A and B are shown apart, each in its own frame.
Chain A
Amino acid sequence: MLVGGLVLAGVAAPALLSPYLRSLALAILADVVLAVSWSLFSGPTRYLSLATGAFWGAGAYLTAVVGGRAPWPVPVLLGGAVGAGIALMVGGLALRLRGPYFAIFTFGLAELAKHALIWYETGVTGTVGRLLLTQPRPATLYYTVLALAALAVTTAVLLRRSRWGYALVAIGGDEERAETLGINTMAVKIATFALSAAFMGAAGAAMAPRWTYLDPQVFNPLVSFQTVIMALLGGVGTVAGPIVGAVFLGLASELLLLNFRYVYLLGLGLTLIVVVLALPSGLAGLWTIMLSRRQQEHRGA
């Protein structure tokens, strides 16, 4: 029932909300897509990916390049394809690395892509950015991102209960043992990495029309970090966790980022530290702990 209510509210929102609130809802939905799709791969496998900004940026830049030449949902589909394509290309190399090496490599990759694009745009094409002149209607944009979010959540729910999902958990627990048990760990890792990147690329492509001007700075490492913090704050152990985290931080960033940028980013850092030290299973985990405590009290009484 809760799910039905949420879906109804999501669908009815554009008609009920003011333009400002609708744009806020749009931003939060995009955050939900990122946090849920990040947790899809990094949650069970515990591979800490900092490449979110690269996939997101590739999708967004693609929309800017394609511009008005293709009818609307096409850039989004292409963005998803590009995200998945990049993930497939680098996944084979990157996913041989473990622990901090993987994190640093994905971070370096996003920065490399950004600086190479800046160099290419200034040196070869002679532009530093691109204008997005034709834009879909706000309601179209909203429903696109809503559909992406619904798709990401559904995928996450289905994946958790599938053999594929169990394979991912096994990889996170002990990769060598998983391999011995007959799981093709490399294939599972690459496929899931690409699936999660497809959502990130599509989200970037769908959100690009929000800005009328795009430059390579859209390959923003902040997007990568914010996604990790959202997912960890909410808790990657459940599907609801990343959603809670995305709504929470999405609201905070929308309210604070423009006017109190440094305070917000400082708070983001503090949040990460507190979550790592005190809330290893996130807000969702806290909720579960509180529930079980209450049940214990009931039983005691």
Chain B
Amino acid sequence: MQPALLLDLVVGGLITGGLYALVALGLNLQYGLMRVLNVAHGEFLMLGGYLTYTLHTSWGVNPLLTVLVTGPAAFGAGLGLHRLLYARVLEAGESAEALEARSLLLSFGLLFVLQNAALLLWSADLRGYSYLAVPLRFLGAVFPANRVLAAAVALFLSVAFYLFLKRSLAGKAIRALMQDPEGAQLVGVDLRRTHARCFGVGVAMATVAGSLVSMLFELTPFIGLPYTVTALVVVILGGLGNLLGSLVAALILGLVETFSVHLAASDIRLIASYAVLSLILILKPSGLLGR
């Protein structure tokens, strides 16, 4: 393999992986903290894409700056959804198993609602715009500037959130709740408020990722589910509740995908990700990097 091609594939893989990282982190945060496996996660990505599309094409807002709108709006929506749906299930005080089953069903309901609302609003037609579609040369390889920018923003946000968890007091409280909910509450962590905020942050991550995705690819209301599946693969690969695992697994998956699409064909991608998902679930449900 020529060095230029190799570099092309590696950077391409890291770009894809960066976006996956942001999507998967949000999903993993929600599951790790409150046992909500949010299969509607990708739908928030899709909505973020449409929101950016609408802001850009109707009001001419710079797509990158729309993140300042879509992020906070999604955070607010996440707070509302948590209060309206998930907090009620959580406070019913059932066994962990029943709780997971009910919140999973709620997320499936949400998936149907959001996807079909988007279909009613924007129809099933492809929507897209062109932004920063200029080539960027780097050591003999060429990359579209918008992809580099999107990946850089996604990676920056992912790493920033990880550092926030590791270094700040609020992050410490979140980690404490993940490890031992009762102990954390004993030392004064507000469970309900932390849950709500983390759910909001998870939704915001997916939505911002969607704003970034809209700069790269055309949108349909159906793009959400494939991202949810990818995020599930990443989260399960890295271990449920293990955020650093997700970060690493996302980059690995991005690389594997880019190489396999280059070596085989692109239509094998979905088959491969479902097959990987099934295999990991069977062989090592705690995740490849799990304990």
Contact = CB atoms under 8 A, between A and B. Distances in A.
Interface stretch (A15-23, A103-111, A193-201): A103-111
A48 interface: yes
A276 B89 contact: yes
Given A100-B37, A266-B120, A276 B105 contact: yes
Given A119-B268, A273-B106, A112 B275 contact: yes
A98 interface: yes
Given A265-B116, A266-B117, A119 B105 contact: no
A111 B268 contact: no
A116 interface: yes
A4 interface: no
Contacts of A268: 112
B193 interface: no
Given A266-B113, A270-B113, A225 B268 contact: no
A98 B37 CA distance: 14
Interface string A253-281: 00000000011011011111100110000
Contacts of A96: 282
Interface in A243-301: 262-263, 265-266, 268-273, 276-277
Contacts of A277: 85, 88-89, 106
The CB with the most chain A CB atoms within 10 A, among B111, B119, B274, B285, is that of B274
A177 interface: no
A7 interface: no
A91 B253 CA distance: 28
A93 interface: yes
B97 A272 contact: no
Contacts of A111: 229, 270, 274
Interface residues of A, number: 34
A269 B271 contact: no
B281 A262 contact: no
B277 interface: yes
Interface string A113-145: 001100100000000000000000000000000
A288 B88 CA distance: 24
Interface string B234-276: 0000000000000000000000000000000001101100110
Given A97-B281, A97-B285, A277-B85, A269 B275 contact: no
Interface in B53-102: 85, 88-89, 97-98, 100-102
Given A99-B97, A100-B100, A262-B119, A108 B274 contact: yes
A202 to B, nearest CB: 25
Contacts of B229: 108, 111
Nearest to A175: B97
A101 interface: yes
Q: Interface majority SS on B: helix, strand, loop or mixed?
A: helix
B104 interface: yes
Given A48-B101, A97-B285, A101-B281, A273 B116 contact: no
A46 interface: yes
A175 to B, nearest CB: 10
Interface residues of B, number: 37
A269 B97 contact: no
Interface string B16-41: 00000000000000000000010000
A62 interface: no
A93 B229 CA distance: 20
A98 B281 CA distance: 11
Given A272-B105, A272-B108, A116 B89 contact: no
Contact of B116 (A46, A98, A119, A262): A262
A232 interface: yes
Contact of A272 (B88, B109, B270): B109
Contact of A115 (B97, B100, B109, B270): B270
A105 B281 contact: yes
B271 A105 contact: no
B107 to A, nearest CB: 10
B113 A273 contact: yes
A225 B108 CA distance: 8
Nearest to A265: B116
A99 B115 CA distance: 25
B46 interface: no
A140 to B, nearest CB: 35
Interface of B: 37, 85, 88-89, 97-98, 100-102, 104-106, 108-117, 119-120, 229, 232, 267-268, 270-271, 274-275, 277-278, 281-282, 285
Interface of A: 46, 48, 93, 96-101, 103-105, 108-109, 111-112, 115-116, 119, 225, 228, 232, 262-263, 265-266, 268-273, 276-277
22 contacts: A48-B101, A100-B100, A103-B101, A104-B281, A105-B277, A105-B278, A108-B277, A109-B278, A111-B270, A116-B271, A119-B271, A263-B116, A269-B110, A269-B111, A269-B114, A270-B113, A272-B105, A273-B109, A276-B106, A277-B85, A277-B88, A277-B89
Given A99-B100, A115-B274, A266-B120, 14 more contacts: A96-B282, A99-B97, A100-B100, A104-B37, A112-B271, A115-B271, A263-B120, A266-B116, A269-B116, A271-B109, A272-B106, A272-B109, A273-B113, A277-B89
Q: Which 10 A-B pairs rank lowest in CB-CB distance, beginning with the nearest? A: A269-B112, A272-B109, A269-B113, A273-B109, A266-B116, A112-B274, A262-B116, A265-B116, A269-B109, A262-B119
